[in-house]
Amino acid sequence: MSNPWIVVGATAAIIALSAFFVAIEFALLAAKRHRLEDAAATSRSARAALRSSGELTVVLAGSQLGITACTLALGAITKPAVHHALTPWLESWGMPLWTADVASFVLALVFVTFLHLVVGEMAPKSWAIAHPERSAIVLAIPMRAFMAVFRPALLGLNALANRCVRAVGVEPVDEAASGQDPRALRQLVEHSANVGALDASYSAQLSGALDLESATLGDLVREHAVPTAVGEGATVADVQAASRRSGHLRVLVGDGRDLRRVIHVRDTLDLPGEASIADVSRPVFSLPAATPLSEALASMRETRNHLAVVTGPDERTTGVVTLADVLRTLFPQATAA
DSSP 172-207: --SS---S--HHHHHHHHHHHHHTTSS-HHHHHHHH
Long-range own/partner contacts, residues 298-306 (CB < 8 A, 24 or more apart): 300/326, 306/250
What is residue 291's DSSP assignment? S
List strands edge to edge, sheet with 317-322: 286-288, 307-311, 317-322
Q: How far is CA 183 from CA 186, 207, 211, 254, 283, in A?
A: 5, 10, 10, 41, 38
State pLDDT tens for residues 214-270: 677 777 777 666 777 888 888 888 888 888 888 888 888 887 667 778 888 888 888
- Per the model's pLDDT, the better-predicted residue between 324 and 22 turns out to be 22
State pLDDT tens for residues 88-119: 888 788 778 888 888 888 888 888 888 888 88
d(CA 69, CA 65): 6
Work out the mean pLDDT of the chain and round it to a whole number: 80
Residue 15: the pLDDT is: 92
User: Which residues fall within 8 angstroms of residue 158, CB to CB, at 6 or more apart?
Assistant: 57, 58, 61
pTM of structure: 0.53
d(CA 234, CA 241): 11
Strand pairing class (307-311; 286-288) = parallel
Confidence of residue 21 (pLDDT cuts 50, 70, 90): very high
For CATH 3.10.580.10, the residue range(s) in the chain are: 215-336
Q: Does domain 215-336 have CATH number 3.10.580.10?
A: yes
State pLDDT tens for residues 288-322: 888 887 788 788 888 888 888 888 777 777 778 88
User: In the predicted model, is pLDDT for residue 336 greater than 50?
Assistant: no
State pLDDT tens for residues 273-288: 888 887 788 888 888 8
Element containing residue 247 per DSSP (H, E):
none
